[in-house]
Amino acid sequence: MEKKLDYKKTFILGFGFFAISITWNVYNAFMPLLLGKFIESAALIGFIMTIDNYLALFIQPAVGFYSDGIKTRFGRRMPFIMIGMPLAALFMFIIPFTNVLWTLVLALFLMNLSMSIYRSPVIALMPDLTPKPQRSKANAIINFMGGIGSLIAFGIGGTLFEINEGFPFFLSAALIIFSFVVLFMQIKEQRDVIHYEQAEEKRNLGQGILVVVKDKNALFLLFAITSWFIGYNGIETFFTKYGVEYLNIRPSQATLTLAFISLSFLVFAIPAGIIGTKIGKKNTIRLGIIGAIIMMLGVSLIKPGTENMLLYMRILFLGIGFSWASININSYPFLSDMSPLGLLGTYTGVYYLFSSIANIVSPPLLGILIDAIGYNIVFLYGAFWFGMAFIFINLVFYTDKGDN
């Protein structure tokens, strides 16, 4: 008999991704504006925005691997969460108090270092607690919670930023602590985990990562993941400056426009998981990529001063959010399904390794293009990388229910 999804525990687990989501969205929306006080070059701002991800290249796979093997009274994943979440909140709180460039860069570096410690373990808890056939639905609920975090960051953050530049960061720090308390009090690994998978053979970190990259299906899926994150991260990182400097709108209008992606993502998160269960994760991802490309090309046609410019853009952003939900809800469960016994944390860490590569590559690359061509390149850049993702996803031949 197929085990049912525990909706209550999955919802509670979603607070981990809620904290991740609000933190990254506040960071991506407002950090370029803070850096812009000290730096004029979009390329240099883009580079600084990626410094943290260089650490993530090494820390997240290592944390994922070691969380597969440790045994404590708090479980395997929770010790990393207990360290990372409070520290991330602390450094998020400190960021607005920095008044010279080097202290700002140091604070954002330490904040992202803290995020790297707990990100892989908090995500790996989902498949630990969830039967394999139910993982798309569980990931949908978790990403629904992440969508709420994004909506708060973009919907409220812009207004708070105009009142006081520190307020979005203070809000994020407070919600990280709140989420940590909920997770720590309600999720008890020794009680809640269905079973910890045991590795078929003992491996070190390098051998574990080698298993992932030797799996051609996993590797092409990781290339697809990297490609769509390059496209999406570039847009998300520079959209506030795109709005202010290219469209001549206020920061609050720009972040409110971004909130339309979060809103539609929120609405479609759970349906995307259900669709992924019905027609297959790969098919759902492919449909999402096609939709995102069409919507981004549409946004690229909107020029500054166009009548009803924000209305048209927000309608297209709703479409991007629907498409992004179809992709993002199903990609991690698709990869986790490919994981051999005992390597779930390692696969999770490598998932974030490749997304970190995207975060490293994208802001400076798009920043260079903006400096050379102008802000009109932003959505064409996004559409190109989603096109690359479509090529890679079609090279994945691992199938689940509904996929052809």
In terms of phi and psi (left: phi > 0; alpha: psi -120 to 50; beta: otherwise), the region of 302 is beta
For position 203, what pLDDT does the model report? 54
- Res 2: pLDDT: 54
Strands (E), 231-339: none
113 within some domain: yes
Q: Which amino acid is at 323?
A: S
Q: Is residue 292 part of a domain?
A: yes
Rounded Cα distance, 115 and 50, in Å: 14
Q: What is the per-residue pLDDT for 389?
A: 97
Rounded to the nearest 10°, the torsion over CA 250, 251, 257, 261 is: 170
User: Does residue 400 sit within a domain?
Assistant: no
Contacts of residue 113, defined as CB under 8 A and 6 or more positions apart, other chains included, come to 52, 55, 59
The first and second tokens of residue 382, run together, are 């996004």
Using alpha carbons, select from 299, 338, 340, 293 the residue that is nearest to residue 316.
299
Q: Look at residue 404 and give its three-state secondary structure.
A: coil
Q: Does residue 403 sit within a domain?
A: no
Per-residue DSSP letters for 217-272? HHHHHHHHHHHHHHHHHHHHHHHHHIIIIIS---HHHHHHHHHHHHHHHHHHHHHH
| Predicted local confidence at residue 311, as pLDDT | 93
Q: How many domains does the chain have?
A: 1
Domain annotation covers residue 276: yes
Residue 313 lies in a domain: yes
Residue at 399 is within a domain: no
Q: What is the CATH number of the domain that holds 264?
A: 1.20.1250.20
Per-residue pLDDT of the chain (404 residues; tens, 9 = 90+): 456 777 888 888 889 889 988 998 898 888 888 888 888 887 788 788 777 677 777 777 777 777 777 777 887 888 888 999 999 999 999 999 988 888 998 998 899 889 888 887 887 788 777 877 777 788 888 888 888 888 888 778 878 988 998 999 999 999 999 999 998 888 887 676 655 555 444 555 566 667 777 778 889 999 999 999 999 999 988 888 888 888 888 888 888 888 899 889 888 888 998 898 889 899 999 999 999 999 999 999 988 888 889 999 999 999 999 999 999 889 988 888 887 766 777 777 788 788 888 988 898 899 899 989 988 899 999 999 999 999 999 999 876 654 54
Domain residues for the domain of 381 are 7-195+203-393
Query: What is the pTM assigned to this prediction?
Result: 0.74
- For the record, the structure tokens of 169 come out as 């960061």
Round the CA-based radius of gyration of the chain to a whole number and report it: 20
**Environment class of 388 (CB within 10 Å of its CB; exposed 0-12, middle 13-18, buried 19+):** middle
The answer to whether residues 99 and 290 touch, using CB atoms and an 8 Å cutoff, is: no
